[in-house]
């Protein structure tokens, strides 16, 4: 591992020996940036190009598995009274089909594209937190493996991908099946949150020097909106999964109506995630479309500003319409009308984008290359899906078709038409970049037509089956209801579609292996990812170019050569370590030099230990859980240890006569920004917990609880005193600050423990369960902040520059302040009814 701040290795290039030609620069940078050679490189790489390809490959693997499940489903439904599989197996099939496609294919495929493309589009050398990329990837692989194992062992989740309790709880599913879902998916979601934090910080702070936000490639805007949506959309699901697992494993009755819970709480939490999820899936595809259409039409994108505004408003609106999945749960009609209006309103920003894309085609001269073919397939399919979407947003119509094959057809039009088709277009568009080769064998169009025809053959008439009363999720049906012809046609067509997808795979593999090398920038695009040789070098850009427009390659066709000649920033790898620039958010002025860590197997090892934590919960080996948690904490400390130098470097030359400090000598290092956005997700989870408490308080039938907790004055005293100390720690400079903060955190923890002494058994009532969870949440964050305070104190004494100068102190302030805040709120809201009433 390269520890920054140590002297450069002996292989470091020297500037005085020979003039730095482009080739020498390439070799020098490659020595610094390359992943380890051979199989070892797979496990120690932290390079976004490698990890992006790995994400994409694993996501495609899960698409194949999910697709095989879909084929089994269609085989079962091809004829009435089918005896192919029984309901037990069938229920696992459709549950796992939905789960794999949503969580293990769609989201990771976006992550893969973003991880691979963003630094290249934005003109930087890697993502903000390379080790975090690797950690997220391995969490995804290990969590996904858990679900695959459950399927092979025949104990896969079988309560539907939406996991409604009580069916998914101990009452309806006493076996381990549901636990695989709750624990495995939560494990996988670590990768989504990690990627989202990383994408957000990268887009805001890691771009080519001079690139303003308004000059970013349009894909970056979409990725930014998507990432922020993941940070605010996934926490409700993670919270719901934790609560349901607590109910299943320890009897905390959050969803059991008899003890003050409510099954509807799960539906709210699930769809609070589930609807934004649809746009989290669609927006990256829209980003790809917005990138590809102008290039294919030899023009520039129409209405860039409008499209950004549309993407942002889609993101915001999508959080206001989760209830449209719950139109049939008995919510008052005027409430439904509000959500119905919000649901139809999302058609507006969608229409803005669609017509801007069509306008772009009118403005230019569209050419029918393979990526464009897939995008035309998208238009034909997605517009139908959007129109049926407006239909089901209409409340009375939804009452009729809810939970029928009409919905199945609608969602496949939206997800396959709106995500898979454009993403395949994107795959073909960027394939020359991924593999550096020409597309040689011409099976692509054949594959497209098979998929396109197969898709519509499968799903178009299934709308009608839904109108004829065919419910979703039935494992078999009787003949004589007019469904037979539709179903056999759908099954046959689905196999045609599967053959088409298989051909796409064959096409990609064959081209990747045997095709001839292609030219750079085969489509004649204007964005920066084409300003490098393909396949991409490990360092992306030999020097960081100054960018002042959206299509820098159109302004200056010589740019790739100038980058290679080192006519940008950080073009001289004299310091022998991985460096890039971080910018001011809005102006794009270079702010400081970021020094990245080198190759390491630590992210994978940490993901494995994280996996042991989840595995312990899954198999109820609870002794393993605290051990694994300690292991993760140990890795986290080690993770930080590698950052920061012992001696001050001051301002370093960054090229072009500019001198900048390194990240360890500034008050807002990348870790501060990462913490900020991680806390955004964390705060959303806490907010969802408060929402759940308020929901149960006001809606659940069996409230109030038998008794409220009535903590003494000691709790209030310890809590307020602790919070005051944490506040004082912020203001105290030097090593004493960390100690004061630590004392405050301990006092707050004491308040929590006192509260729990007054608290009744958490299994007695949902109120008691909520109290324990809120207090446990506070204790967890207090422990994390205390660990950070201790580490900061130790690092100061060891003379680590970043701990002394203030960047790390501000990170601690964020976490300690957050922990104090959630402790105060948690204690206040649980104690209030007892104290006031």
Picking from 546, 529, 545, the residue whose alpha carbon sits closest to that of residue 537 is 529
Count of residues in contact with another protein, rule CB under 8 A: 83
Distance separating alpha carbons of residues 693 and 243, to the nearest angstrom = 12
User: What single-letter DSSP state applies at residue 653?
Assistant: E
Distance separating alpha carbons of residues 466 and 468, to the nearest angstrom = 5
Rounded to the nearest whole angstrom, what is the least distance from the CB of residue 82 to another protein in the complex? 11
314 part of the interface to another protein, by CB under 8 A:
no
For another protein, which stretch binds (CB under 8 A), given 187-195, 328-336, 452-460, 527-535? 328-336
Distance separating alpha carbons of residues 435 and 432, to the nearest angstrom = 6
Contact 104, 59 (CB under 8 A): yes
512 part of the interface to another protein, by CB under 8 A:
no
Place of tokens 């759908």: 490
- Give the one residue of 12, 155, 312, 395 binding another protein; rule: CB under 8 A: 395
Contact 793, 738 (CB under 8 A): yes
Distance separating alpha carbons of residues 298 and 364, to the nearest angstrom = 6
- Please say which residue, 318 or 675, places its beta carbon nearer to another protein: 318
Rounded to the nearest whole angstrom, what is the least distance from the CB of residue 278 to another protein in the complex? 18
700 part of the interface to another protein, by CB under 8 A:
yes
- Please say which residue, 400 or 659, places its beta carbon nearer to another protein: 400
257 part of the interface to another protein, by CB under 8 A:
yes
**Interacting residues with another protein between 402 and 461 (CB under 8 A):** 402-404
Distance separating alpha carbons of residues 520 and 437, to the nearest angstrom = 9
Parallel/antiparallel/unpaired status of strands 579-583 and 590-595 = antiparallel
Rounded to the nearest whole angstrom, what is the least distance from the CB of residue 760 to another protein in the complex? 21
400 part of the interface to another protein, by CB under 8 A:
yes
- Please say which residue, 42 or 362, places its beta carbon nearer to another protein: 362
379 part of the interface to another protein, by CB under 8 A:
yes
- Two tokens, residue 771: 């109290």
Rounded to the nearest whole angstrom, what is the least distance from the CB of residue 332 to another protein in the complex? 9
**Interacting residues with another protein between 66 and 85 (CB under 8 A):** none
Residues 6+ apart with CB under 8 A from 347: 386, 389, 390
For another protein, which stretch binds (CB under 8 A), given 475-483, 553-561, 792-800, 803-811? 475-483
For another protein, which stretch binds (CB under 8 A), given 180-188, 201-209, 303-311, 500-508? 303-311
Distance separating alpha carbons of residues 578 and 647, to the nearest angstrom = 18
Can you tell me whether residue 83 is helix, strand or coil?
coil
701 part of the interface to another protein, by CB under 8 A:
yes
- Give the one residue of 22, 153, 467, 835 binding another protein; rule: CB under 8 A: 467
**Interacting residues with another protein between 167 and 206 (CB under 8 A):** 167, 171-172
361 part of the interface to another protein, by CB under 8 A:
yes
**Interacting residues with another protein between 147 and 166 (CB under 8 A):** 159-160, 164-166
- Give the one residue of 87, 626, 667, 704 binding another protein; rule: CB under 8 A: 87
Taking CA atoms, 314 is separated from 293, 308, 368, 507, in Å, by: 20, 10, 29, 35
- Give the one residue of 72, 347, 605, 608 binding another protein; rule: CB under 8 A: 347
- Give the one residue of 34, 312, 376, 829 binding another protein; rule: CB under 8 A: 376
728 part of the interface to another protein, by CB under 8 A:
no
299 part of the interface to another protein, by CB under 8 A:
yes
User: What single-letter DSSP state applies at residue 579?
Assistant: E
Instruction: Read off φ and ψ for residue 569, nearest 5 degrees.
Output: -85, 155
302 part of the interface to another protein, by CB under 8 A:
yes
DSSP 220-282: HHHHHHHHHHHHHHHHHHHHHHHHHHHHHHH---SS-GGGT--HHHHHHHHHHHHHHHHHHHH
Instruction: Read off φ and ψ for residue 386, nearest 5 degrees.
Output: -65, -40
515 part of the interface to another protein, by CB under 8 A:
no
643 part of the interface to another protein, by CB under 8 A:
no
263 part of the interface to another protein, by CB under 8 A:
yes
**Interacting residues with another protein between 769 and 828 (CB under 8 A):** none
Please report, in angstroms and rounded to a whole number, the separation of the first and last CA atoms in the chain. 59
- Please say which residue, 344 or 548, places its beta carbon nearer to another protein: 344
**Interacting residues with another protein between 45 and 64 (CB under 8 A):** none
């Amino acid at each position: 591992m390269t520890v920054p701040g140590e002297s450069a290795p002996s292989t470091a290039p020297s500037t005085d020996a020979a003039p730095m030609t482009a080739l020498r620069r390439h070799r020098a940078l490659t020595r610094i940036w390359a992943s380890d050679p051979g199989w070892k490189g797979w496990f120690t790489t932290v390079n976004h190009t490698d990890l992006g390809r790995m994400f994409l490959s694993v996501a495609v693997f899960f698409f194949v598995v999910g697709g095989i499940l879909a084929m089994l489903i269609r085989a079962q439904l091809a004829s009435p009274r089918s005896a192919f599989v029984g309901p037990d197996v069938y229920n696992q099939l459709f549950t796992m089909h939905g789960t794999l496609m949503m969580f293990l294919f769609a989201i990771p495929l976006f992550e893969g594209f973003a991880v691979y493309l963003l630094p290249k589009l934005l003109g930087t050398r890697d993502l903000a937190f390379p080790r975090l990329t690797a950690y997220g990837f391995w969490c995804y692989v290990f969590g996904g493996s858990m679900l695959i194992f459950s399927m092979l062992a025949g104990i896969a989740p079988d309560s539907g991908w939406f996991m409604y309790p009580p069916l998914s709880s101990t009452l309806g599913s006493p076996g381990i099946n549901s636990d695989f879902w709750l624990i495995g998916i939560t494990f996988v979601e670590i990768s989504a949150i990690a990627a989202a934090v990383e994408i957000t910080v990268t887009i805001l702070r890691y771009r080519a020097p001079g690139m303003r936000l308004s000059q970013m490639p349009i894909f970056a805007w979409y990725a930014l909106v998507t990432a922020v949506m993941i940070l605010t959309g996934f926490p409700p699901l993670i919270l719901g999964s934790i609560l349901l697992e607590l109910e299943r494993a320890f009897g905390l009755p959050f969803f059991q109506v008899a003890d003050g819970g409510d099954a509807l709480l799960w539906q709210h939490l699930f769809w609070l995630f589930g609807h934004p999820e649809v746009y989290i899936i669609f927006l990256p595809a829209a980003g790809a479309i917005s990138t590809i259409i102008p290039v294919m039409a030899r023009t520039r994108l129409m209405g860039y500003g409008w499209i950004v505004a549309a993407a942002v408003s889609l993101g915001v609106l999508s959080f206001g319409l989760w209830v449209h999945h719950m139109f049939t749960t008995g919510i008052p009609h005027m409430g439904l009308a509000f959500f119905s209006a919000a649901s139809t309103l999302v058609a507006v920003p969608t229409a803005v984008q669609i017509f801007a894309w069509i306008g772009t085609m009118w403005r230019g001269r569209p050419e029918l290359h393979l990526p464009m073919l897939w995008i035309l397939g998208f238009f034909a399919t997605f517009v139908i899906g959007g129109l049926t979407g407006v239909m089901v947003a209409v409340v009375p119509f939804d009452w009729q078709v809810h939970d029928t094959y009409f919905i199945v057809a609608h969602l496949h039009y939206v997800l396959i038409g709106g995500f898979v088709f454009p993403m395949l277009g994107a795959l073909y568009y960027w394939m020359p970049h991924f593999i550096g080769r020409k597309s040689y064998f011409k099976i692509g169009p054949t594959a497209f037509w098979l998929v396109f025809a197969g898709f519509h053959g499968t799903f178009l008439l299934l709308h009608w089956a839904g109108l004829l009363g065919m419910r979703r999720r039935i494992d078999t049906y009787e003949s004589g209801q007019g469904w037979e012809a539709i179903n056999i046609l759908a099954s046959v067509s689905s196999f045609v579609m599967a053959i088409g997808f298989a051909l796409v795979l064959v096409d990609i593999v064959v081209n990747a292996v045997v095709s001839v090398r292609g030219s750079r920038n085969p489509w004649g695009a204007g964005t920066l990812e084409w300003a490098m040789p393909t396949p991409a070098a490990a360092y992306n850009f030999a020097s960081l170019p100054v960018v002042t427009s959206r299509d820098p390659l159109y302004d200056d066709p010589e740019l790739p050569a100038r980058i290679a000649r080192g006519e940008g920033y950080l073009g001289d790898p004299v310091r022998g370590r991985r460096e890039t620039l971080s910018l001011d958010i809005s102006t794009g002025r270079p702010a400081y030099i970021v020094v990245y860590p080198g190759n390491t197997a630590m992210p994978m090892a940490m993901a494995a230990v994280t996996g042991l934590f989840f595995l312990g919960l899954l198999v109820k080996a609870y002794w393993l859980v605290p051990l694994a948690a300690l292991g993760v904490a140990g890795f986290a400390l080690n993770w930080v240890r590698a950052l920061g130098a012992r001696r001050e470097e001051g301002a370093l030359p960054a090229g072009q006569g500019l001198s900048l400090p390194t990240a360890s000598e500034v008050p807002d290092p990348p870790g501060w920004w990462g913490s900020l956005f991680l806390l955004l997700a964390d705060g959303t989870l806490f907010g969802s917990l408060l929402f759940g408490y308020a929901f149960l308080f006001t809606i659940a039938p069996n409230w109030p609880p038998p008794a409220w907790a009535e903590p003494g004055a000691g709790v209030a005293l310890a809590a307020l005193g602790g919070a005051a100390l944490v506040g004082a720690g912020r203001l105290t400079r030097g090593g004493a600050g960390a100690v004061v903060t630590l004392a405050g955190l301990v006092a707050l923890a004491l308040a929590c423990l006192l509260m729990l002494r007054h608290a009744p058994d958490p299994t007695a009532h949902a109120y008691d369960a909520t109290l324990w969870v809120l207090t446990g949440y506070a204790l967890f964050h207090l422990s994390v902040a205390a660990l950070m305070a201790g580490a900061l104190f130790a690092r100061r004494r060891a003379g680590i520059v970043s701990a002394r100068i203030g960047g790390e102190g501000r990170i601690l302030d964020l976490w300690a302040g957050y922990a104090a805040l959630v402790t105060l709120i948690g204690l206040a809201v649980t104690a209030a009814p007892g104290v006031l009433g």
